[in-house]
């Protein structure tokens, strides 16, 4: 199971205390107390492992290492070690205390989520012409405490959507080296799968059904993973009695999740077209084409598709190649574009 939504509480390290010490026995020989080290920070770091949040589950209250206290002889305390927590790229960090949101988009990108407390000054730093043997010092400051929700939203370029059993996973496997489970029943895919076509990332999500937004089937929580994709590949089975009706039903669920989803360019595939005669395919395609001619339609193309015909698969690859070029030209970032 991929963990894609968790809460964690982290407290950064406490700053070390400043030291009070003097040269030799006599105070008059001057202060030498070093300062305390800063407390360690809590840092989130982007990694490519999509299951990285699994490791953060059940970590409870986590406290980062404190800074060491200052020592005599001008020795400052060592700073506490930062705690680095790996999160998958595409993780949105919600600060539950402030309501702030931040995203980790790149591998190795680091975000300090809780800053360690400052170390206190030792008495050496309190010396002055008026007070040559100060007894003052500062205690270190406490580290920041944060309550975070970490929500993974895949950074995919293409989202595969449709009813269950329409061949989404089969297509993903055909186009990429993904090994998404395929079977002839509904809800074979229980959690999202990603595949890579050159530099494009394709996301295959569990099938949607009418009422998914009200919790039917597997629900629509997976839609967040394709919220930021540039385009949608919408598969409607040739076996559907009324493909236009199926198409609209899925669009309704998309809208229920987020109306912005309806603005994405869409490529429609009448999947499993090998199951029908040529004329029946034509008829169903024309029904879908009618929709594509409506005002405000974001449909780019409608085509029949069977994964058993190499030519069909090549046509899909052609679309992907165009998207790939577009992405290269723009240096497009699917996240920023969304
Ligand atoms: N005849 C035919 N069958 C296909 C085609 N593509 C997929 N299938 C079959 O359709 C069934 C469902 O395929 P999946 O790829 O698991 O469908 P899915 O849309 O991912 O289904 P869920 O994960 O349940 O949403 C499997 O038995 C596939 O072998 C096709 O082009 N033609
Ligand atoms: Mg599937």
The length of the chain is 338
Taking CA atoms only, the protein residue closest to ligand 1 atom 12 is 165
Beta bridge partners of 114: 42
Considering the segment(s) 158-337 as one domain, its CATH architecture is 3-Layer(aba) Sandwich (3.40)
Residue 107 tokens read as: 């591998």
What was the pLDDT predicted at 338?
A: 43
Ligand 1: which atom is nearest the Cα of residue 206?
25
Asked whether 106 and 47 are in contact (CB, 8 A), the reply is: no
Helices (H) and strands (E) in the chain — how many of each? 5, 14
Residue 228, classed as helix, strand or coil, is coil
When pLDDT is cut at 50, 70 and 90, the band that residue 221 belongs to is confident
Q: What pTM was computed for the model?
A: 0.74
DSSP summary character for residue 71? B
d(CA 13, CA 143): 5
Which residue's alpha carbon is nearest to atom 27 within ligand 1? 184
Classify domain 5-152 at the CATH class level.
mainly beta
**Is the CB–ligand 1 distance for residue 190 below 6 Å?**
no
Per-residue pLDDT at 196 exceeds 80: yes
pLDDT of 194 over the 60 cut: yes
Instruction: Read off the pLDDT of residues 313-338 as tens digits, 9 standing for 90 and up.
Output: 999 999 999 999 998 887 645 454 44
Q: How far apart are CA 216 and CA 90, in angstroms?
A: 27
Average pLDDT over residues 19-28: 80
Q: Containing H/E element for 257? A: helix 243-257
pLDDT value at residue 26: 61
DSSP 51: T
Considering every ligand atom, which ligand is closest to the CA of 276? 1
Q: How far is CA 71 from each of CA 23, 118, 135, 136, rounded to the nearest angstrom?
A: 12, 16, 14, 14
Segment 119-153, tens digit of pLDDT: 999 999 999 999 988 999 999 999 999 999 999 98
Residue intervals in the chain for CATH 3.40.50.300: 158-337
At residue 331, the pLDDT reads 65
**Is the CB of residue 274 below 6 angstroms from any atom belonging to ligand 1?**
yes
Report the residue among 164, 171, 179, 182 best suited for mutation to probe ligand 1: largest number of ligand atoms under 8 A from its CB. Answer: 182
Q: What is the pLDDT of residues 229-259, one digit of tens each?
A: 999 999 999 999 999 999 999 999 999 999 9
Q: What are 5's strand-pairing partners?
A: 151
Q: How far apart are CA 190 and CA 171, in angstroms?
A: 16
For CATH 2.70.210.12, the residue range(s) in the chain are 5-152
Ligand 1: does its nearest atom lie under 6 Å from the Cβ of 205?
no
Model pLDDT, residue 337: 47
Cα of 41 to ligand 2 centre, how many Å?
41
| Average pLDDT over every residue of 67-74 | 96
234 lines ligand 1 (CB under 6 A): no
User: DSSP letter at 101?
Assistant: E
- Confirm if 42 and 16 have CB atoms less than 8 A apart: no
Rounded to the nearest 10°, the torsion over CA 43, 46, 99, 14 is 0
Give yes or no for residue 272 CB within 6 A of ligand 1.
Answer: yes
| Buried/exposed 258-292: b ≥16 CB within 10 Å, e otherwise | eeebeebebbbbbbbbeebeeeebeebbebbeebe
* 237 C-beta closer than 6 A to ligand 1: no
- Of 150, 148, 122, nearest to 136 by C-alpha is 122
């Amino acid at each position: 199971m991929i963990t894609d939504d968790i809460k964690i509480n982290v407290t950064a390290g406490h700053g070390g205390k400043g030291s009070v010490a003097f040269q030799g026995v006599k105070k008059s020989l001057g202060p030498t107390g070093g300062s305390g080290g800063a407390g360690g920070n809590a840092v989130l770091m982007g990694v490519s492992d999509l299951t990285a949040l699994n490791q953060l589950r059940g970590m409870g209250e986590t406290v980062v290492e404190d800074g060491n206290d200052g020592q005599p002889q001008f020795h400052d305390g060592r700073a506490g070690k930062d705690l680095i927590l790996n999160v998958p790229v595409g993780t949105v960090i919600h600060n539950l205390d402030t309501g702030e949101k931040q995203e980790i988009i790149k591998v190795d990108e680091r975000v300090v989520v809780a800053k360690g407390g400052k170390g206190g000054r030792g008495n050496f730093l309190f010396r002055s012409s008026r007070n040559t043997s100060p007894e003052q010092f500062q205690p270190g400051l406490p580290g920041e405490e944060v309550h975070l929700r970490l929500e993974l939203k895949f950074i995919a370029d293409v989202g595969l959507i449709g009813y269950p059993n329409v061949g989404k996973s089969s297509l993903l496997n055909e186009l990429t080296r993904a090994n998404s489970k395929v079977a002839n029943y509904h809800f074979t895919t229980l959690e999202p799968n990603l595949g890579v076509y050159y530099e494009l990332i394709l996301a295959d999500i569990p099938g949607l059904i009418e009422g998914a937004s009200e919790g039917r089937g597997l629900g629509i929580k997976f839609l967040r993973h394709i919220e930021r994709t540039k385009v949608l590949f919408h598969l409607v089975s040739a076996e559907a009695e009324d493909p236009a009706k199926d198409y609209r039903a899925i669009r309704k669920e998309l809208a229920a999740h987020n109306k912005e989803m309806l603005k994405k360019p869409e490529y429609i595939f009448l999947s499993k077209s090998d199951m029908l005669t040529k004329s029946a395919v034509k008829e169903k395609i024309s029904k879908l084409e009618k929709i594509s001619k409506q005002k405000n339609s974001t449909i780019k193309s409608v085509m029949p598709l069977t994964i058993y015909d190499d030519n069909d698969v090549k046509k899909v690859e052609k679309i992907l190649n165009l998207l790939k070029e577009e992405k290269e030209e723009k240096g497009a970032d699917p996240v920023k574009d969304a």
